[in-house]
């Protein structure tokens, strides 16, 4: 019975989100901290180094960590204020059980009783409906140790094939494309290569707001003479001073890449030696892009033909370059094709695997990279191995001390798991580090599906919008309460260090997973005493795989300020730049730089298809979504940090004055966005920095403020990423606030 | 060790991304925890994402001190203009109104004008001011002049500002784009009437596209 026990308001009143501000000890001057703990930010994939000030087992502030090479003390506002998530009034200090008769719908339960109840319910569901009827959701903010343990727990402890994670809504399109083209899923270059590039191509990445510190690299390259090309439907802060802005119509990125390749071929701006010696498949791609003349590209993308020609010339004739993209081209029903198109123009230029010649997806989540390598993905085993590959199954089973036959087969992605709930194939769910009620598209469907579950347990440190649907909520750990590794977006493995202990009955997440295993009577393989022991097993499990961590130790990470994988032995220095001659590559074994047996990269034909839901007379406006700098993902943490809420309190609808004028909408007016799946009423922000045919709304809020009430759940057929970046809507001016706006604070 | 002659403060508005890390970090400074002494301005959000961080410029002849009826605002030997001295400040707001850069803040709870003091507690201990430490895009920079001149060859540091007939010289420098002639000063009154040229080009593309879509 996984429905909200009572209405939103009483739950919000007790569990928040409430805004936390500095007070008491945190405002006093001259407080000498007991210690400064060197660690990393708990938010995005940049993983900036930061020192946390600790006094009396509480994080009281931060001090810049200027020695850490990536950010050298720099931080964005989220990193500066992240310490306010600790000692928070909303923090879950006890286990809770759903109880409609309790004042806020939940009553306190002793931790051990909660674990027992979870184990009993898992057994009940699995005994009645089979092992696959119980599913597990993970997340890419977990340390790699936790992600690894969760994958092992699902496959070996629960014997279910149904595990997947919130990275499914993040960068899976890029991951799939990278595997198809390069045979490996990792940023090809360290960020330092940006500084040496002549041309930097940024496609669908609001870098200044989502990865603020990367701005400094790009703008320093510009000072050094680099030309910056930005492709985006909005003039984001990074686009404001770029050298060439291509205001692409949302959903048309692949057309642009094909058009650029067409011009590169026509003008012979190609690296013929590289194409001949290090790639396969160019001829088919060249044939395919013949039809993508500049005129056709301009018609489809909405970009002026002259700009397309100029971009092709800059890109085609550069000596060094860096192409980067993020969710803007990945969140599409053809997200994989978009990324393949981007890779095609990189491969045709031959500018990869060298200093100053780079390509990367900018992974969004803190451990978006490490969290997708070691087995919480539905089709994956540790070390980036494939759960359907017999040799890979043997390796993982051996490390875990089981027979390969006992390993479940590949499961399905997060969204399809909801469809399995609908079909009654999944009856129970364990969720950690994931807030699908806010973060998945068409979220009314997500709520209905949660309500169909027989049993739903969630591990979290705050009562997230999703946790409100749980039968049992177990109090997990904050980032600063545990140690472990994460891998940054550039492939650098760094160490998170514990600053404080877990308060109340809260436990480190890996302990909770092991407690459940023990209560199930399946403790074999789940008796780790600390994250280091988990990491040591992970090293062995990853050895020989593509994501090889076997040569990385906690000590080596601390000493060298991070180690880039692959790192196959303790005397190996790590691999900051992939695809260099002679770099570690267990697949090509010396045949070439890329991760295929012949060592060659693959060109892939990337056909253009329009978005799943294109605009029409009924719904004539394109809706696209994204982030703002002061909030992070579903806002479970950042909507509880007062100064961050105050910086950008509520979602606004960015729209162009040309569009606003047609609807008599003025800045600050309430506007209802109507789509085929839902509506959302918010205030308008009239700006000339967006395409007139497109509106933008950030997605970090829940309830009536959630734009994911409107977005479409159509998925990429390969990566299964939902199409957050395009759906069709209409807009209507309102003459007052919606009912949901009253009685709630902006963050609620 | 504080080396006043080596490390100087530079603002590079072309690099500002509007993230407010500076403002949020300022309120973490030990001497004024919970209160930011600086702020961020959107030049015209309707037209542009251009933003500017506003820290104290530390004028050679501080207007705020000149208009103070209680002689509460002092400049120390290192050229830093300090917050009003508590025993003297009468909370009259003269400084807030007079400052050409809009820097001083009246903290009504304390009945005291407080402003950016270039993080004296940090700079005196050899650290950078909090805002310049965290700024993720290099819009705020604290370091030797030779270093920033080398890092930013497209700009030149300027510390003279013309407001009508008043010229204000400051300790803090603003990075101005290098034009045909080396910029000697920033004419603030002129700049207020300028329109962003780079932005307009992109915006014209947007509007033309919309029109062409409407007329098939």
Task: Tell me the per-residue pLDDT of B140-168, one tens digit each, with 9 for 90 and over.
Answer: 999 999 999 999 999 999 999 998 888 99
Looking at residue A6, its pLDDT comes to 85
A104 close to A14: Cβ distance less than 8 angstroms: yes
Number of H helices, E strands in chain B: 8, 9
Nearest-by-Cβ selection for A247 from B27, B137, B202:
B202
User: In what order do the strands lie in the sheet containing A321-325?
Assistant: A244-246, A227-231, A199-203, A321-325, A357-361
Beta carbons of A75 and B45 less than 8 Å apart = no
Q: What's the pTM value of the predicted model, to 2 decimals?
A: 0.96
Q: What CATH class has A172-362?
A: alpha beta
Nearest-by-Cβ selection for B34 from A27, A235, A693:
A27
Beta carbons of B137 and A219 less than 8 Å apart = yes
Intra-chain end-to-end CA distance of chain A, in Å: 25
Distance of residue B172 Cα from the nearest chain A Cα, in angstroms: 20
Of all residues in chain A, the one with the smallest CA distance to B16 is: A237
Nearest-by-Cβ selection for B198 from A28, A64, A241:
A241
DSSP conformation letters of B95-147: HHHH-TT---EEETTTTEEE-----HHHHTTTPPPHHHHH-TTSSEEEEEHHH
Q: How many CB atoms lie within 10 A of CB B111?
A: 12
Residues of chain A with CATH 3.40.50.740: 95-169+367-483+503-526
Q: Which residues, at least 6 apart from A153, have a Cβ–Cβ distance to it below 8 Å?
A: A136, A513, A516, A517, A526
Which three-class secondary structure state does DSSP give residue A583?
coil
Mutation site, B13, B20, B175, interface A, largest A CB count within 10 A: B20
Instruction: Check the CA dihedral A307-A313-A315-A319 and report its sign.
Output: negative
Distance CA A488, CA A543 (A): 20
Looking at residue A1, its pLDDT comes to 63
The two tokens of residue A704 are 């009536």
* Mean pLDDT by groups of 10 residues along chain A of 748 residues: 84 96 86 96 97 96 96 98 96 97 96 98 98 98 98 98 94 96 97 98 98 97 96 95 94 98 98 98 98 97 95 98 98 98 98 97 95 94 96 97 97 96 98 97 96 98 98 98 98 98 98 98 97 98 96 98 97 96 88 96 97 94 97 98 97 94 95 97 95 96 97 96 97 92 89
Distance CA A382, CA A710 (A): 36
Distance CA A572, CA A563 (A): 10
Distance CA A41, CA A460 (A): 18
Residues of A in contact with B156 (CB under 8 A): none
Averaged pLDDT for residues B38-66:
93
Q: Where are the domains of chain B?
A: 7-55+116-214
Of all residues in chain A, the one with the smallest CA distance to B48 is: A689
- Which residue from A256, A262, A269 is spatially nearest to A315, judged by alpha carbons? A269
Looking at residue A741, its pLDDT comes to 80
Distances (CA, A) of A283 to A257, A279, A341, A449, A575: 16, 11, 15, 47, 31
Mutation site, A237, A630, A641, A655, interface B, largest B CB count within 10 A: A237
Phi-psi region of A287 (alpha: psi -120 to 50; beta: other; left: phi over 0): alpha
Beta carbons of B136 and A73 less than 8 Å apart = no
Of all residues in chain B, the one with the smallest CA distance to A231 is: B202
Distance of residue A343 Cα from the nearest chain B Cα, in angstroms: 27
Beta carbons of A692 and B30 less than 8 Å apart = no
Nearest-by-Cβ selection for A689 from B21, B49, B136:
B49
Helix (H) or strand (E) holding A137: strand A134-138
Number of H helices, E strands in chain A: 24, 28
Go through chain B and tell me how many residues it has. Answer: 216
Crossing angle of the two packed helices A335-349 and A305-317, in degrees rounded to 10? 50
Q: Which residues, at least 6 apart from A102, have a Cβ–Cβ distance to it below 8 Å?
A: A5
Chain A, chain B: beta-carbon pairs less than 8 Å apart? 153
DSSP state of A215: H
Nearest-by-Cβ selection for A687 from B45, B136, B202:
B45
Which three-class secondary structure state does DSSP give residue A229?
strand
Phi-psi region of A664 (alpha: psi -120 to 50; beta: other; left: phi over 0): left
Distance of residue A297 Cα from the nearest chain B Cα, in angstroms: 14
User: A587: exposed, middle or buried (C-beta count within 10 Å: 0-12, 13-18, 19+)?
Assistant: middle
B128 close to B15: Cβ distance less than 8 angstroms: no
A253 close to A611: Cβ distance less than 8 angstroms: no
Instruction: Check the CA dihedral A585-A589-A591-A596 and report its sign.
Output: negative
Mutation site, A50, A215, A218, A667, interface B, largest B CB count within 10 A: A215
Helix (H) or strand (E) holding A200: strand A199-203
Residues of A in contact with B23 (CB under 8 A): 77
Checking DSSP bridges between strand B112-114 and strand B105-107, what pairing results, if any? antiparallel
CATH number belonging to the domain at A621-741, selected among 2.40.40.20, 3.40.1360.10, 3.30.1490.20, 3.40.50.2300:
2.40.40.20
Residues of B in contact with A61 (CB under 8 A): 28
Residues of B in contact with A667 (CB under 8 A): 46
Q: Which residues, at least 6 apart from A85, have a Cβ–Cβ distance to it below 8 Å?
A: A20, A42, A478, A637, A640, A641
Distance CA B47, CA B195 (A): 10
Crossing angle of the two packed helices A335-349 and A253-266, in degrees rounded to 10? 20
Residues of B in contact with A247 (CB under 8 A): 202, 205-206, 209
Checking DSSP bridges between strand A244-246 and strand A227-231, what pairing results, if any? parallel
Beta carbons of A74 and B134 less than 8 Å apart = yes
Q: Say which CATH architecture domain A95-169+367-483+503-526 belongs to.
A: 3-Layer(aba) Sandwich (3.40)
Interface check for B52 against chain A (CB to CB < 8 A): the answer is no
Looking at residue B210, its pLDDT comes to 40
Residues of B in contact with A74 (CB under 8 A): 21, 133-136
The two tokens of residue A658 are 């040309």
Q: How many CB atoms lie within 10 A of CB A172?
A: 27
Kindly tell me if the per-residue pLDDT of B202 is higher than 70: no
Intra-chain end-to-end CA distance of chain B, in Å: 69
Beta carbons of B19 and A76 less than 8 Å apart = yes
Looking at residue B181, its pLDDT comes to 64
Distance of residue B124 Cα from the nearest chain A Cα, in angstroms: 15
Distance of residue B117 Cα from the nearest chain A Cα, in angstroms: 16
Interface of B with A in 100-159 (CB under 8 A): 128, 133-138, 151-154
Residues of chain A with CATH 3.30.200.210: 30-85
SS3 content of chain B, % helix, strand, coil (to 5): 30, 25, 50
* pLDDT-derived band at B195, boundaries 50, 70, 90: low
Looking at residue B196, its pLDDT comes to 57
Of all residues in chain A, the one with the smallest CA distance to B196 is: A240
Residue with the larger pLDDT of the pair B192 and A527? A527
Which three-class secondary structure state does DSSP give residue A227?
strand
Beta carbons of A647 and B20 less than 8 Å apart = yes
Of all residues in chain B, the one with the smallest CA distance to A298 is: B209
Indicate the range of A51-55, B100-104, B133-137 predicted with least confidence.
Answer: B100-104
Go through chain A and tell me how many residues it has. Answer: 748
Kindly tell me if the per-residue pLDDT of B204 is higher than 80: no
Of all residues in chain B, the one with the smallest CA distance to A631 is: B19
Residues of A in contact with B114 (CB under 8 A): none
Residues of B in contact with A241 (CB under 8 A): 14, 198
Distance CA A299, CA A293 (A): 10
Distance CA A409, CA A469 (A): 29
Residues of B in contact with A223 (CB under 8 A): 151-154
Q: Which fold has domain B7-55+116-214?
A: Alpha-Beta Plaits (3.30.70)
Beta carbons of A240 and B49 less than 8 Å apart = yes
Distance CA A505, CA A515 (A): 13
Q: Say which CATH architecture domain A30-85 belongs to.
A: 2-Layer Sandwich (3.30)
Phi-psi region of A157 (alpha: psi -120 to 50; beta: other; left: phi over 0): alpha
Nearest-by-Cβ selection for B17 from A215, A247, A688:
A215
CA angle A673, A676, A680 (to 5 degrees): 25
A587 close to A183: Cβ distance less than 8 angstroms: yes
DSSP conformation letters of A516-577: HHHHTT--TT---SSHHHHHHHHHHHHTTSSS--TT--HHHHHHHT-EESP--STT----SS
């Amino acid at each position: 019975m996984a429905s909200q026990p009572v209405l939103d308001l009483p739950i919000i009143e007790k569990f928040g989100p409430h805004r936390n501000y500095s007070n008491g000890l945190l405002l006093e001057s001259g407080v000498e901290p007991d210690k400064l703990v060197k660690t990393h930010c708990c938010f995005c994939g940049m993983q900036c180094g930061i020192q946390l000030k600790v006094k009396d087992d509480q994080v009281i502030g931060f001090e810049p960590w200027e020695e850490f090479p990536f950010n050298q003390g720099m931080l964005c506002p989220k990193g500066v204020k992240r310490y306010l998530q600790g000692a928070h009034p909303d923090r879950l200090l006890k286990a809770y059980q759903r109880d409609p008769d309790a004042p806020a719908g939940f009553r306190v339960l002793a931790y051990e009783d909660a674990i027992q109840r979870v184990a009993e319910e898992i057994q009940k569901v699995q005994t009645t409906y089979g092992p696959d009827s119980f599913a597990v959701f993970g997340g890419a903010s977990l340390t790699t140790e936790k992600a690894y343990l969760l994958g092992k727990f699902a496959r070996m402890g629960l014997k279910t094939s149904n595990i997947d994670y919130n990275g499914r809504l993040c960068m899976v399109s890029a991951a799939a494309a990278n595997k198809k083209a390069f045979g490996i899923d990792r940023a090809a270059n360290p960020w330092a290569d940006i500084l040496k590039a002549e041309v930097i191509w940024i496609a669908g990445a609001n870098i200044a707001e989502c990865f603020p510190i990367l701005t400094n690299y790009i703008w320093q390259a510009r000072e050094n003479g680099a030309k910056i090309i930005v492709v985006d439907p909005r003039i984001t802060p990074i686009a404001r001073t770029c050298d060439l802005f291509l205001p692409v119509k949302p959903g048309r990125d692949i057309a642009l890449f094909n058009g650029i390749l067409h011009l590169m071929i026509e003008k012979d701006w190609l690296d013929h030696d590289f194409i001949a010696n290090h790639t396969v498949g160019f001829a088919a791609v060249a044939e395919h892009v013949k039809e993508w003349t500049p005129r056709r590209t301009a018609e489809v993308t909405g970009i002026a033909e002259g700009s397309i020609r100029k971009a092709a010339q800059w890109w085609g004739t550069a000596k060094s370059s860096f192409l980067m993209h993020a969710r803007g081209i990945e969140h599409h029903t053809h997200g994989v094709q978009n990324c393949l198109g981007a890779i095609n123009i990189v491969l045709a230029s031959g500018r990869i695997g060298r200093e100053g010649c780079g390509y990367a997806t900018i992974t969004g989540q803190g451990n978006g990279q490490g969290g997708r390598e070691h087995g919480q993905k539905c089709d994956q085993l540790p070390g980036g191995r494939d759960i359907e590959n017999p040799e890979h199954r043997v390796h993982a089973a051996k490390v875990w001390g089981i027979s390969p036959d006992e390993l479940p087969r590949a499961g399905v992605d997060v969204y399809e798991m909801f469809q399995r709930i609908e079909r009654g194939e999944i009856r129970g769910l364990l969720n950690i580090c994931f807030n699908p009620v806010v973060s998945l598209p068409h979220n009314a469907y997500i709520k209905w599906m949660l309500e169909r579950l027989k049993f739903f347990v969630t591990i979290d440190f705050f009562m997230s919008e999703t946790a409100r649907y749980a039968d049992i909520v177990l109090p997990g750990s904050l980032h600063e309460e545990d140690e472990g590794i994460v891998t940054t977006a550039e492939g650098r493995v760094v160490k998170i260090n514990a600053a404080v202990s877990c308060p109340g009955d809260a436990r480190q997440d890996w302990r909770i997973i092991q407690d459940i295993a023990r209560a199930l009577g399946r403790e074999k393989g789940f008796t780790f005493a600390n994250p280091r022991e988990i990491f040591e097993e992970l090293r062995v499990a990853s050895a020989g795989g593509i994501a090889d961590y076997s040569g990385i130790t906690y000590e080596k990470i601390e000493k060298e300020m991070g180690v880039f994988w692959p790192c196959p032995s303790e005397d190996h220095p790590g691999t900051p730049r992939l695809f260099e001659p002679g770099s570690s590559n267990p697949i090509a074994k010396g045949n070439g730089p890329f991760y295929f047996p012949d060592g060659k990269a693959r060109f892939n034909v990337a056909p253009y298809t329009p978005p799943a839901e294109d605009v029409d007379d009924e719904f004539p406006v394109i809706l696209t979504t994204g982030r703002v700098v002061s909030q992070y993902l579903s806002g479970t943490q950042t909507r509880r940090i007062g100064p961050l809420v105050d910086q950008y309190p509520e979602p606004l609808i960015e729209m162009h004055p040309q569009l606003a004028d047609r609807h008599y909408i003025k800045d600050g007016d309430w506007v209802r966005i109507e789509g085929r799946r839902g509506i959302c009423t918010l205030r308008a922000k009239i700006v000339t920095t967006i395409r007139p045919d497109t509106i933008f709304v950030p997605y970090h809020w829940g309830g009536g403020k959630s734009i994911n009430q409107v977005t479409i759940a159509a998925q990429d057929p390969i990566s299964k990423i939902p199409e957050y970046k395009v759906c069709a809507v209409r807009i209507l001016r309102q003459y007052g606030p919606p009912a949901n706006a009253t009685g709630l604070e902006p963050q609620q | 060790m504080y080396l006043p002659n080596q490390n100087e403060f530079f603002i590079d508005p072309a690099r500002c991304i509007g993230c407010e890390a500076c403002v949020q970090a300022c309120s973490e400074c030990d001497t004024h925890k919970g209160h930011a002494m600086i702020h961020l301005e959107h030049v015209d959000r309707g037209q542009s994402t251009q933003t500017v961080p506003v820290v104290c410029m530390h004028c050679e002849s501080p207007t705020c001190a000149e208009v103070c009826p209680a002689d509460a605002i002092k400049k120390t030997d290192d050229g830093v203009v300090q917050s009003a001295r508590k025993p003297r400040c009468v909370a009259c707001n003269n400084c807030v109104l007079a400052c050409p850069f809009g820097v001083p803040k009246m903290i009504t709870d304390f009945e005291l004008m407080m402003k950016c003091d270039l993080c004296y507690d940090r700079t005196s201990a050899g650290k950078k001011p909090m805002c310049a430490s965290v700024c993720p895009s290099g819009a705020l920079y604290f370091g030797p002049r030779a270093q920033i001149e080398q890092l930013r060859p497209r700009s030149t540091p300027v510390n003279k500002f013309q407001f009508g007939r008043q010229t204000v010289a400051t300790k803090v420098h603003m990075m101005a784009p290098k034009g045909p002639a080396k910029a000697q000063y920033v004419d603030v009154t002129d700049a207020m009437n300028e329109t962003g040229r780079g932005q307009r080009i992109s915006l014209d593309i947007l509007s033309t596209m919309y029109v062409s879509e409407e007329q098939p």
